[in-house]
Chain A
Amino acid sequence: MNWAEIIVQALKDWDTSLIAYVPDISIDQVTRLIDDDPFFHLVSATREEEAIGIAVGAYAVGRNAAVFMQSSGFGNTLNAVASLCIPYRTPIPMFINMRGGPGEFNIAQVAMGRTTKPILDLLGLVHFTFDDDHRMGEILDGALKLCHAGRQPVALCLTRMLHGGKVA
């Protein structure tokens, strides 16, 4: 399995069938697989905090849900994560394409990309970074288990080293 297939398998293993996202050229490799698979319902949100609301709504009626976004979009989710996911205790895995690292071509992506993990730390949320697919299935399975055990969001940070990234 490649990294995108590993993510799809982990979502299935954790019966996570509602996926809310804002499109991104790199994670498109995953969301295209999800869109083609009848196991999933992929909801295209207009903004990342809306995706969080949709995912929490699904979880609230008993369906596991995850979100996909870019690190810039993570900036758009902050009040939703802080005022909804954390106080209500909802285990929403957040798959984040990390911009602003090695190979970045766009200055506007740098600050949000580089502050994503410090912000997650300030919120007290656990995050895992994937630079390659070595033991990725094992780590992802453990991350999703932790997410549900703690009933808090867990961030899965996907770097350009993993997925190839956007090339200017």
Chain B
Amino acid sequence: MLRFEATQLILKHAGNRPIVANLGPTTDELWHAQHRDRNFYTYGNMGLCSSLALGMAVSTSEQVISLDGDGSLLMNLGTIATIGREQPKNLIVVVWDNEMWDQTGHQQSHTALGTDLEQVAKSCGITHTATVIDLEELETVFRTALEGDGPWFIVAKTEQSEYMPVSPIEPEMTLYRFRNSFSS
């Protein structure tokens, strides 16, 4: 599936739930799909997308969605163990897994050569997991995740695609807008 179409699908069902986007194309595509106050765009903070979402999930009663990536998550596999330890019922991690470091020259990532992130999540005590290969499967699993308790860990296999223009967003404003949306 194409990551942009999958991002649009997530947004279609996310309502006003907070979404944290991994750095680079995932952040850019989220902005192009639909800019909203509840989008937390990340930039250079490699590997920390789902750690940010975890910190949010243990601090709000709302469901929190992390749009992570295989390369980024491989930098911080420990956070899957921390999610398993904390068991936040309101956290949904979606990993866009294109099996490569696309931005740095399409080098194969470990998931192209045997690493199974869903199995990592399972072995860390996350019981609600899935690996999906098309939009229909993603929609079914994501809607199930929204309706029940998590934590959920969904690996979505994506294809290589052309980059969209870099989104015109500023970190300080991202934090300010996002945080203000929780102040009421």
Contacts and interface: CB of A to CB of B under 8 A. Distances in A.
B175 A55 contact: no
A50 B76 contact: yes
A87 B78 contact: no
Interface stretch (A6-14, A76-84, A103-111): A76-84
Interface of A: 18, 20, 41, 43-47, 49-50, 52-63, 65, 79-80, 82-84, 87-90
A52 B48 contact: yes
Nearest to B54: A54
Contacts of A56: 48, 52, 55
Interface in B32-53: 40, 42-48, 51-53
Nearest to B43: A83
Give 9 closest A-B pairs by Cβ, nearest first: A57-B55, A46-B78, A53-B51, A83-B44, A53-B48, A54-B55, A57-B52, A63-B59, A87-B171
Nearest to B180: A62
Contact of B182 (A54, A61, A79): A61
Contacts of B172: 87-89
A44 B60 CA distance: 18
B101 interface: no
B60 A61 contact: yes
B55 A20 contact: yes
Given A47-B78, A50-B76, A89-B175, A57 B59 contact: yes
A49 to B, nearest CB: 7
Contacts of A62: 59-60, 179, 182-183
